Structure 1
Amino acid sequence: MTGNQKFEIRALTAAEEVNAGFQVFLRAMVGLPFREVDATEITEPGRYLGALDGTEVVGGADSYGSWLVVPGGARVPHAAVTHVGVLPTHRRRGIVSALVARQLRDFAQRGEVVASLRASEAVIYERFGYGVASSAQAVRVNLRRALLRPEVPAGGTVRLVDSAVTTALLAGIYEQAQWTGAIGRPAGWWRLREKLRDSDPAAQYVVVHSSGGVDDGYAIYRPADTTGWFTSREKTVTVTDFVALTDSARAGLWRHLLSLDLLDVVSFDSLALDDPLPLAVVDRRAVELGSAHDETWLRLVDVEAALRARTWGDGDPVVLRVHDALLPANNGTFEVGPKSVVRTEAAPELSVDVTTLAAAYLGGTRWRHLAAAGRVGVHDPDALRRADGLFAVASLPFSGTLF
């Protein structure tokens, strides 16, 4: 078998092929403990691509049909890329490149405007046009020192619900998510979370917040390291999912979590870099911020449609030249202004590849920083100022969803 061997790339349709693809993913990731699952229950028909060496599935790339909230609140058709992996015996043979290129063409044919993923390795996906468009951080709150400021809204009512019967309830709340960077959570995503929950013996608690009788947020949390729970000096619960559709919901859920008995620490797996929690406590040092880490790796599948979907800040237009090596239809020059986006024959003021444009698209990365890193061709220095004004957002993009 040589490095030039050709592999068949196609959709995995039969149940045994889909399950073989999922097993490839688990073997490639090495450390994932979850093995006993029928992959046909958590995937969408026709979206799981495989690389076959004869009849053996040796690589795969999957996706969910979804939506992404862009600046201004519009939801654009989105592909959530997941389950990408190649058997260790077949690495370095161009299989991932072939799978991702085929997958992007498939997304374009489906009319999906953007795609995103969570990268297991940070050096793989830029060459396919994916750029880091949002970041997140873990947060630890020391309950001995954490006291909410008196100005913090009172919030509504909070109720505990049975975690075994919550999927429809939580999905209904989350479906209303409208913050920039939020993505739709499809049925397969929820089914996998159910299976992970059922296979984990650790207790899980779910609280739902309501304002005026309307459910508008929830939090899922679980105790950490319960072996020596009552003798531990740092009894901790970890919040694995925190969804607040309103300021009232956010404040009400804070009040519940920070007032739990017996605890020393409340830890959040993932919050936005500009989450207001540190501003809501009297002693800011009670809230320990973890290091920022990449969250959303974004790919613009249809650059023109993506640019037209979001809203823009005030200021004069800027002319952008975009290069896309994998999807040539995206190549072109665009005049981006506060009221319109049009293709143009005008001379470009800034030139970027599609990866760099993706990093700036949601407003999480400034153009002047990209230029300082040498990632922008600057033909008019004033265009950087105008681009930063046009792409600016009130709150940093954040997804909060792993897949």
Structure 2
Amino acid sequence: MSVEFRTLTAPDEVNAAFRVFLRAMVGLPFRDVDATEITEAGRYLGALDGGEVVAGADSYTSRLVVPGGARVPHAAVTHVGVLPTHRRRGIVSRLMERQLRDAAGRGEAVATLRASEAVIYERFGYGVASSAQPARVTLDRARLRPEVPAGGKVRLADRTATVELLAGVYERAAWTGAIDRPDGWWRLQQRLRESDTVAHYVAVHSTGGVDDGYAIYHPLDTSGWFTSSERVVAVTDFVALNDGARAGLWRHLFSLDLIDVVAFDSLALDDPLPLAVTDRRSVALGPPRDETWLRLVDVGAALEARAYGSEETVVLQVSDPLLPGNDGAYEIGPKGVTRTTAAADLGTDVATLAAAYLGGTRWRHLAATGRVAVHDPGAVGRIDALFAVDALPFSGTVF
């Protein structure tokens, strides 16, 4: 095969790769956007056949919040696609493997992506590390409990919600699974809102004069808006840095005139919203779906970055066919992680470790399905306690 693999640097090649991505996704509309303005220089990998870009794999420089609050260097993988004419030739595999080596060379401990198909990425060492769910709140039945915090001040910032304002709030997001949103991500979101024919509204919450949350929402199906029996607004980005901000934004959304349903695109699986209303059935939770697909690029650095419970140590043997430098045994305990030559209590592959890394998947469930080699049965309970988290991981960012 004469396909050439390299980093794309020329603007026309970057734009060609982005068009390949849109075509490969089929369901995404073609948009008039200069891809060089929404991507990061030096990170777009391409496959070229006869000088024509036929596939690409992109990423952003970012950080991921892990249990304990540390932010680890992170590659946000996106824009992966191959033309239909060049499928099943191993092109995407070559790109993904090259991308992992590049991330390792940059010192990025982890990579994450959002998968268009659920059977592609595990073979590259990715595992589902967080899930999310949509929710629909029926407003004529939804009443917040009197104990719910009053929240602070909410202002509408539809015309003044600059990237700097929203990014200034979001950059303090510290829940497990949150990622840094790169500049290109913000520019793309702003472009999409500005090009939409439907109005997008921005409500910003502040406590004591400090902005600490916001919600972006827009109406659905506006062609028959004033005669519709069910008027719905979709909340596409909901960021709350504390309980007061979350409650204040709820109060704003649930008091909107003319609205019958508030539909949240994405909530954590343990979001407290159903507990905040007097009629729990007014909140209809949709089916959970995979959100963060995580890859440990540097297993040792990633394991050392997160916090652990107080249980006794466990020796975990890890195998990584694509990055063999990760192969080996790791002693994991409340005081940290070290490489060891001791006999392993448990063994697994890097994709399974990734699924458990943020605490969103229990080790006992992985062991029960045969994805963990158990040499010491007591170690399953110990590693579950070591990896336990107070809140389920959640990103809330699509890229």
Q: 1:230 and 2:226 equivalent?
A: yes
Equivalent position amino acid for 2:392 in 1: L
Specify the alignment match of 2:182 in structure 1.
Answer: 186
Q: 1:332 and 2:328 equivalent?
A: yes
Equivalent position amino acid for 2:165 in 1: L
Aligned equivalent of 2:14, options 7, 18, 31: 18
Contact 1:179 1:398 (C-alpha < 8 Å) held by counterparts? yes
* SS state at 2:137 partner: strand
Specify the alignment match of 1:243 in structure 2.
Answer: 239
Aligned equivalent of 1:151, options 140, 143, 147: 147
* Per-residue CA distance 1:243-294 (angstroms, 9 max, x = gap): 0001110010011011111111000000000000000000000000000000
Specify the alignment match of 1:358 in structure 2.
Answer: 354
Contact 1:163 1:204 (C-alpha < 8 Å) held by counterparts? no
Equivalent position amino acid for 1:198 in 2: E
Q: Distance in 2 between matches of 1:197 and 1:9?
A: 34
Q: Distance in 2 between matches of 1:355 and 1:241?
A: 29
What's the CA shift for 1:34? 3.8
Structure 1 residues 165 and 245: CA distance shift in structure 2, 3 A? closer
What's the CA shift for 1:365? 0.1
What's the CA shift for 1:6? 3.8
Contact 1:221 1:241 (C-alpha < 8 Å) held by counterparts? yes
* Aligned alpha-carbon RMSD (Å): 0.7
What's the CA shift for 1:231? 1.0
**Mind listing any 5+ residue stretches in structure 1 that lack a counterpart?**
none
Contact 1:68 1:76 (C-alpha < 8 Å) held by counterparts? yes
Q: 1:259 and 2:255 equivalent?
A: yes
Q: 1:36 and 2:53 equivalent?
A: no
* SS state at 2:379 partner: helix
Q: 1:344 and 2:336 equivalent?
A: no
What's the CA shift for 1:164? 5.9
Equivalent position amino acid for 2:323 in 1: L
Q: Distance in 1 between matches of 2:216 and 2:159?
A: 9
Specify the alignment match of 1:290 in structure 2.
Answer: 286
Q: TM-score, normalised by structure 1?
A: 0.98
What's the CA shift for 1:197? 1.1
Q: Matched residue pairs, number?
A: 399
* Per-residue CA distance 1:44-63 (angstroms, 9 max, x = gap): 11100000112011000000
* SS state at 1:136 partner: strand
Q: Distance in 2 between matches of 1:164 and 1:226?
A: 24
Contact 1:19 1:38 (C-alpha < 8 Å) held by counterparts? yes
Contact 2:329 2:342 (C-alpha < 8 Å) held by counterparts? yes
Q: Distance in 1 between matches of 2:88 and 2:281?
A: 47
Specify the alignment match of 1:196 in structure 2.
Answer: 192
Specify the alignment match of 1:380 in structure 2.
Answer: 376
Contact 1:352 1:376 (C-alpha < 8 Å) held by counterparts? yes
Q: Distance in 1 between matches of 2:309 and 2:223?
A: 53
**Mind listing any 5+ residue stretches in structure 2 that lack a counterpart?**
none
Contact 1:77 1:114 (C-alpha < 8 Å) held by counterparts? yes
* SS state at 1:61 partner: strand
Q: Distance in 2 between matches of 1:165 and 1:342?
A: 46
Percent pairwise identity? 75
Q: TM-score, normalised by structure 2?
A: 0.99
